[in-house]
Amino acid sequence: MTAPAEHERLLIIDFGSQVTQLIARRVRESGVYCEVIPYDKSGAHIAAHPPKAIIFSGGPESAHEEGSPRAPQAAFDLGVPILGICYGEMTICQQLGGRVESGHHREFGRAEIDIERDCPLFAGLSARETVWMSHGDKITAIPEGFEVVANSANSPFAAIANETRRIYGVQFHAEVAHTPNGATMLRNFTHGIAGFKGDWTMANFRKEMVAKIREQVGEGRVICGLSGGVDSSVAAVLIHEAIGEQLTCVFVDTGLLRLNEADQVVTLFRNHYNIPLIHVDAAKEFLGALKGVSDPETKRKTIGRVFIETFDREANKIHGASFLAQGTLYPDVIESIGGKSHVIKSHHNVGGLPERMKLKLVEPLRDLFKDEVRALGVELGLPPAFVGRHPFPGPGLGIRIPGEVTPEKVATLQKADAIYLEEIRAAGLYDQIWQAFAVLLPVRTVGVMGDGRTYDEVCALRAVTSTDGMTADFYEFPWAVLGKAATRIINEVRGINRVVYDVTSKPPGTIEWE
């Protein structure tokens, strides 16, 4: 782990909430290093890495039912500050002698809490605060030594505290944006109550990780699968800073990247950073393998298979390599240690290669969230425009061309997509959008150009806003921007005579079309 000293850790015990990662993000944003560990693995983790403070997350279970998740006794015995959120508060009550019941009025959505007494958890806040509730059970009695700090219309124990033991509980979700001052509450806990300095920065992380990479790799050689995306690029630059010429990047150009993207990647890494780079132009192989394939999942698997075969062939030419670098991020780690199934999208994280090539993994970003990776990229000197790029799928344009993928369709889509993104940037809207791209539909429509009849293809434009990609809303463009992009695409891209805009949210749709 590339964390600060053991006593500067905060541990988040996960009881299965859908928003546990948001707690970690809020804590990290205030400069405090934290880790998320499932409740059933947290006892051993506490013994091995005693934290300076603990947060219990929310969860879907009922704390009073037999067999429901419990916090390890070690968490209470350690004597460090504890904050329970929603289910976390309920399990504190249930485990320490209070009472939780079902069958009472449920509380979902915005609510107002009234703060009854001074409490460091609410320092600097108003007597009435807006919060976000999401619970079906109700606390009916709190443990001995606890006092009520705040209540709401349906939660007489909306916040409780045992100041002597420094154990606090809140019935609402402080981590979500719907609790406007939730970040302040969490900061009050981490800084005011637990005494964290808030000095965990990307500069510190960079220095610590460089030392860790050098220690792990020694005199060995590392292969990095460079996709051109933000994660693998940041990982490559960080590893190169640590071990220099011991790193070789393999960039497999699938022919399914955005317009001129392959040239940009090669220029940035080979010329600007002087990182040893093997550029494999495998467009013919990928497009050949996709000939006649139209099923979305078959396309993904085909692209993944060809990628692994190509990468394996090129990497085996690098003598003495014993490590493979991947851009694994913390959400992937949390999901895997939680025992949930995790499907890595085709070839994005070169899945399957470590076992196939008998290599040890180097994952320098495994402690970071996506926004932290971007911050690290800026810290490393990568151009802000590069690290701030929208997400791009592993299979590339192959899943933005429903139906069969052909070289002609790829060339058409690359041009349309480039125009669309160019107009978004020109309007100053790029950073307001989570992801924007064009899709070439397997539909032809009648049009009129120069007094002549056309029968060409349809281009769909997609743009969404999101915080994590799990849910998304379509972006509400100024019509002038959308209209200009559509006009340019029709005028400048031969083969397209109609442009439509996708106004589907996620759910029910997905961000990508395939």
Active site residues: 86, 173, 175
Segments in 127-172 forming alpha helices (H): none
Q: Which residues of 399-434 are buried (b: 16+ CB within 10 A; e: fewer)?
A: bbbbbebeeebbbbbbbbbbbbbebbeebebbeebb
Rounded CA separation 72/75 (Å): 6
Rounded CA separation 246/220 (Å): 7
> What is the token pair recorded at 198?
């808030």
Helix (H, G, I), strand (E, B) or coil at 253: strand
Other Cβ atoms within 10 Å of 96 Cβ, number: 18
Rounded CA separation 509/401 (Å): 17
DSSP state of 61: S
> What is the token pair recorded at 394?
């592993």
> What is the token pair recorded at 66?
């037999």
Distance linking the first and last C-alpha atoms of the chain: 36
- Rg (C-alpha) for the chain, rounded Å, is 26
Cβ atoms 93, 135 nearer than 8 A: no
Rounded CA separation 299/302 (Å): 5
Length of the chain counted residue by residue: 514
C-alpha pair distances (Å), 150 with each of 133, 143, 245, 388 = 13, 16, 59, 41
Rounded CA separation 351/366 (Å): 15
* Dihedral angle computed from the Cα positions of residues 440, 446, 448 and 452, in that order, rounded to the nearest 10 degrees: 110
Rounded CA separation 431/3 (Å): 30
Taking alpha carbons only, the member of 165, 183, 175, 58 closest to residue 122 is 183
Taking alpha carbons only, the member of 296, 250, 321 closest to residue 304 is 296
Rounded CA separation 382/384 (Å): 6
C-alpha pair distances (Å), 499 with each of 4, 408, 469 = 52, 18, 25
